[in-house]
């Protein structure tokens, strides 16, 4: 294939279908893995409908196929009390038959230039094992800290069955361990006057909640109703949005979804809107655990930055086990020093794009 046969350019009308096709083909999950939606509708929603602005996308095409693609989505952040447009990189893929020819290099260069033109100050990356050495070692992306999952096991059986061999032993051990929590006294009930309600959409009440809690955070995505409605209500994927009320007043929001990881049903704590202090985060996670227990998932998890105050609060709320290692990089010359301080971030899986 001569390199000049590729055609490069920004997003076109039919590209969401072709990008969906490329990414679905490369996904390779074979039913063992189901994270977020990867349909053309998802890419249309993600790239075109974002209230913070359209994503900057650049692809390499061969005929009617997209063979490489890359995007940066703008996100409205609050950094040290100011509104800043921050980017999130996503969907960096080159068809295996076309790798190593500089296709992603051209796509990323065009996207980074476009992002700067669109007023995006800097961007953060949650790279895969393949893109991590490219961003960090070749392009000088900065790694100040990494993320991990804070988890709680609700059902040992399915977890052990997925990881332990032989299977009958795993099932037996899972059943024994599954009975253990009953020996431990039940946790306290939610305080009197607290109620939980399913939210179909977000309105000015959610805006008031965000306005009241926002000053407690140094680096955080602006979780106002416009963002929450786009991210969780208009999304082609499905999320469960729960409101916590005290005396009828909205005091916290938790957004949940379910994934399949290595064949195991996982309850994902996708987002949280709550004060930076106090006990609301703990109460929201109790709501999440109750929901997921009812749904029958094996494991509940949330993103954390190990060693930070957020991490201590997640552990205190019952997500005690630490699992995995999610790489986290920021672009070189990011003009906001606070992004290098792990303690400054309030981050949830909703700030990423896996779920």
Ligand X SMILES: CC(C)(COP(=O)(O)OP(=O)(O)OC[C@H]1O[C@@H](n2cnc3c(N)ncnc32)[C@H](O)[C@@H]1OP(=O)(O)O)[C@@H](O)C(=O)NCCC(=O)NCCS
**Could you report how far apart the first and last alpha carbons of the chain are, in Å?**
36
Alpha-carbon distance of 9 to 163, in angstroms, equals: 44
Please answer whether residues 292 and 264 qualify as being in contact, where contact means their C-beta atoms are separated by less than 8 angstroms. no
Stretch that binds ligand X, among 103-111, 230-238, 244-252, 328-336 (CB under 6 A): 103-111
94/151 with CB nearer ligand X: 94
Alpha-carbon distance of 19 to 21, in angstroms, equals: 5
Site size toward ligand X (CB under 6 A) is: 19
Alpha-carbon distance of 125 to 141, in angstroms, equals: 9
Please answer whether residues 155 and 295 qualify as being in contact, where contact means their C-beta atoms are separated by less than 8 angstroms. no
33 is a contact residue toward ligand X (CB under 6 A): no
From the CB of 127, what's the least distance to ligand X, in Å? 5
105/208 with CB nearer ligand X: 105
Dihedral-angle region of residue 218 (phi above 0 means left; psi in -120 to 50 means alpha; beta otherwise): alpha
From the CB of 129, what's the least distance to ligand X, in Å? 7
103/206 with CB nearer ligand X: 103
96/193 with CB nearer ligand X: 96
103 is a contact residue toward ligand X (CB under 6 A): yes
Contacts of residue 2, defined as CB under 8 A and 6 or more positions apart, other chains included, come to: none
20 is a contact residue toward ligand X (CB under 6 A): no
Phi, psi dihedral angles at 58 (to 5 degrees): -145, 135
Stretch that binds ligand X, among 88-96, 161-169, 191-199, 343-351 (CB under 6 A): 88-96
Stretch that binds ligand X, among 96-104, 190-198, 201-209, 248-256 (CB under 6 A): 96-104
From the CB of 270, what's the least distance to ligand X, in Å? 19
Given 131, 225, 259, 304, the residue binding ligand X (CB under 6 A): 131
Structure tokens at 104: 């992603």
Given 55, 68, 242, 299, the residue binding ligand X (CB under 6 A): 68
Secondary structure of 287-345 in the HEC alphabet? HHHHHHHHHCCCEEEEEECCCCHHHHHHHHCCCCEEEEEECCEECCCCCCHHHHCHHHE
Angle at 202 between CA 345 and CA 284, to 5 degrees: 55
353 is a contact residue toward ligand X (CB under 6 A): no
Structure tokens at 101: 């020819």
92/121 with CB nearer ligand X: 92
Residue in the structure block whose two tokens are 């075109």: 48
81 is a contact residue toward ligand X (CB under 6 A): no
Given 8, 17, 62, 102, the residue binding ligand X (CB under 6 A): 102
DSSP state letter for 190:
P
From the CB of 64, what's the least distance to ligand X, in Å? 19
Structure tokens at 283: 């109460």
Stretch that binds ligand X, among 74-82, 100-108, 149-157, 210-218 (CB under 6 A): 100-108
DSSP-based helix, strand, coil % in the chain, nearest 5: 35, 30, 35
Phi, psi dihedral angles at 158 (to 5 degrees): -60, -30
87 is a contact residue toward ligand X (CB under 6 A): no
Stretch that binds ligand X, among 101-109, 228-236, 293-301, 312-320 (CB under 6 A): 101-109
282 is a contact residue toward ligand X (CB under 6 A): no
Residues making contact with ligand X (CB under 6 A): 26, 68, 92-94, 99-105, 127-128, 130-131, 133-134, 138
């Amino acid at each position: 294939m001569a390199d000049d046969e590729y055609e490069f350019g920004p997003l076109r009308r039919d590209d969401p279908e072709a990008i969906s096709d490329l990414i679905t083909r490369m996904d390779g999950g074979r039913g063992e893995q189901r994270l977020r939606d990867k349909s053309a509708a998802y890419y249309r929603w993600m790239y075109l409908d974002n209230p913070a602005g359209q994503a900057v996308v650049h692809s390499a095409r061969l005929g009617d196929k997209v063979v490489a693609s890359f995007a940066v989505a703008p996100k409205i952040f609050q950094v040290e009390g100011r509104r800043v447009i921050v980017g999130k990189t996503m969907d960096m893929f080159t068809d295996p038959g076309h790798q190593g020819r500089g296709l992603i290099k051209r796509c990323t260069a065009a996207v980074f230039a476009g992002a700067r033109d669109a007023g995006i100050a800097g961007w953060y990356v949650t790279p895969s094992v393949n893109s991590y050495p490219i961003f960090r070692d070749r392009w000088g992306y900065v790694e100040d800290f990494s993320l991990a999952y804070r988890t709680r096991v609700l059902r040992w059986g399915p977890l052990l069955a997925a990881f332990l061999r032989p299977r009958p032993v795993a099932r037996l051990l899972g059943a024994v361990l599954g009975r253990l929590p009953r020996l431990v006294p039940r946790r306290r009930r939610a305080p009197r006057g607290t109620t939980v309600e399913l939210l179909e959409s977000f309105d000015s009440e959610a805006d008031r909640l965000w306005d009241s809690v926002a000053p407690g955070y140094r680096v955080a995505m602006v979780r106002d109703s416009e963002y929450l409605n786009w991210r969780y209500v208009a999304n082609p994927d499905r999320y469960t949005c729960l409101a916590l009320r005290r005396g009828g007043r909205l005091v916290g929001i938790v957004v949940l979804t379910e994934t399949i990881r290595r064949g195991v049903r996982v309850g994902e704590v996708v987002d949280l809107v709550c004060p930076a202090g106090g006990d609301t985060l703990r109460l929201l996670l109790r709501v999440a655990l109750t929901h997921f227990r009812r749904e029958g998932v094996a494991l509940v998890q949330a993103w954390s930055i190990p060693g930070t105050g957020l991490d201590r609060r997640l552990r205190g709320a019952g997500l005690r086990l630490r699992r995995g290692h999610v790489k986290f990089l920021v672009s070189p010359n990011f003009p906001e020093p606070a992004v290098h301080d792990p303690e400054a971030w309030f981050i949830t899986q909703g700030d990423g794009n896996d779920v």
